[in-house]
Amino acid sequence: MIADLSPADLDAFIARARADFDAFKARGLKLDMTRGKPSPEQLDFSEGMLALPGNRDHTTDAGEDARNYGGLQGILEVRKLFAGPLGVKPENVVVGGNASLAMMHDVIVWALLKGVPGSERPWGKESEIAFICPAPGYDRHFAILEEYGIRMIPVRLTGEGPDMDEVERLVRDPAVKGIWCVPKYSNPTAECYSDETIRRLAKMETGAPDFRLFWDNAYVLHHLTENRREILNIVEECAAAGNPDRAFVFASTSKMTLAGAGLAFFASSDANVKWQMARASKQTIGPDKLNQLRHVRFLKDEAGLVAHMDKHRISLAPKFKAVTDALQARLGDTGAATWIVPEGGYFVSVDLLPGAASRTVALAKEAGLALTPAGATWPYGKDPEDSNLRLAPSFPTLADVKTAAEGIAICMALACAEVEKAKRLEKA
Ligand code: PMP
């Protein structure tokens, strides 16, 4: 435990960590673990899709010509294919473009301009509105809210979703209109929301009659082990609790097929789907149905989808293990860092001693390692403790992930020991 080291032992620890750091830096590497992008190998799993639908195969089961305009909701076969993972009937799925983030963005803008089912007025006409932001969370969720001046209220994650006592207290305020949730293999903490968390979210009393759960199930099928975690069905839980319109569900195939050319989904209650499509119909005559057909031809059915996701698991799992092994080796008995060993998702989230995150990023940069900036996982880029870092091991090769993870763990150990020493000097 770093905190228990005698002054001399702490100095020796720092000297050893410094020597390791200098040796690592001398290798002159350039490695990047900043963003959760699929690797070229993963993209190759879907290479076969690029030749599809092909051979004048452009007619949907309903006899529509997929090359033409129309079909705003998305072709039925693709909605059937993803209805299971989304947890709704095919009638309650809307297929968008290539980015679920765009669908989330638009839903928020439409809520601001028009209100949602149950709104007394457009959200933008309220004197002030706010969102609950479980943190650490996904920086691009927070960026949308910041863009439109929606106040963000961070709430701590517990390992089973957000601190629900705090959420239940905050939602009594009618200004609080929504909460971001990444309920399965959360970005970045990899936690899954427990049954209790989900039930409480579905039934909690909200001050705003038009409060919404922004349920971004981006990692619904993204398992890293053979234990495929399931969580409760939020749409059903909300309906059972008498709040049928509470959940806006989002997902995409960005990390199933092609990150830049996948399919995005919105799923919700009848009223919400009708509302979404009424807005979307002013934006587009219809989505890219050839891409939808391509996905159906390639993935075939839910079993095909699950088998495809297994390829990703097999490719990704060793990279995650390399990261958590390196953390364990360097930081396991220091008491200076905690992390969850992810069972799914795209990230390893590490909490360091307060003050050590930005120092780690600076050291890593010096050593040729690009890390996501400290604070990025918090609303407004401000981590109150400067302790959380998000590592994204998917993109580099396994060999590079191993090297980078070793370097990062060295930087973390050095940063934490320096912070401990500074704290003692301050106290003295
Ligand atoms: N939601 C979460 C939680 C994510 O981590 C990501 C990608 N990093 C996205 C959404 C982006 O999804 P899409 O590609 O469908 O816009």
44: in domain: no
138 lines ligand 1 (CB under 6 A): yes
Whether residues 284 and 152 share a domain: the answer is yes
98 lines ligand 1 (CB under 6 A): no
Residue closest by Cα to atom 11 of ligand 1: 101
| pLDDT score at 54 | 87
Tokens of 205: 């009393």
46: in domain: no
3-state secondary structure of 152: strand
Whether residues 316 and 189 share a domain: the answer is no
| Domain C-terminal end among 278, 299, 320 | 299
Whether residues 167 and 202 share a domain: the answer is yes
pLDDT along the chain (428 residues), means of 10: 94 96 95 92 97 92 96 98 98 98 98 98 97 97 98 97 98 98 97 98 98 98 96 98 98 98 98 98 97 97 96 98 97 94 97 97 96 95 96 96 96 97 91
| pLDDT score at 148 | 98
189 lines ligand 1 (CB under 6 A): no
Whether residues 319 and 422 share a domain: the answer is yes
Atom of ligand 1 nearest to the CA of 182: 3
| pLDDT score at 246 | 98
Burial letters for 394-407: b for 16+ Cβ neighbours within 10 Å, e otherwise? bbbebebbbbbbbb
| Domain C-terminal end among 280, 299, 318 | 299
Whether residues 258 and 320 share a domain: the answer is no
Atom of ligand 1 nearest to the CA of 255: 14
State in Å: Cα 286 to ligand 1 middle. 22
Residue 11: which CATH number? 3.90.1150.10
Whether residues 115 and 249 share a domain: the answer is yes
254 lines ligand 1 (CB under 6 A): yes
Whether residues 110 and 242 share a domain: the answer is yes
| Domain C-terminal end among 266, 299, 332 | 299
Question: What does the alpha-carbon distance between residue 42 and residue 251 come to, in Å, rounded to a whole number?
Answer: 19
Q: What angle do CA 78, 286, 274 make, to 5 degrees?
A: 80
Domain range for 363 is 2-32+306-427
ipTM, interface predicted TM-score of the complex: 0.99
CA 107, chain centre distance (Å): 18
Whether residues 284 and 320 share a domain: the answer is no
Whether residues 21 and 76 share a domain: the answer is no
Residue 274: which CATH number? 3.40.640.10
| pLDDT score at 258 | 98
Whether residues 261 and 312 share a domain: the answer is no
Q: Which residue has the tokens 């918090």?
A: 378
Question: What does the alpha-carbon distance between residue 49 and residue 214 come to, in Å, rounded to a whole number?
Answer: 30
Whether residues 68 and 25 share a domain: the answer is no
* Residue to probe by mutation, ligand 1, list 138, 348, 394, most atoms within 8 Å of CB: 138
Q: How many domains does the chain have?
A: 2
Whether residues 195 and 276 share a domain: the answer is yes
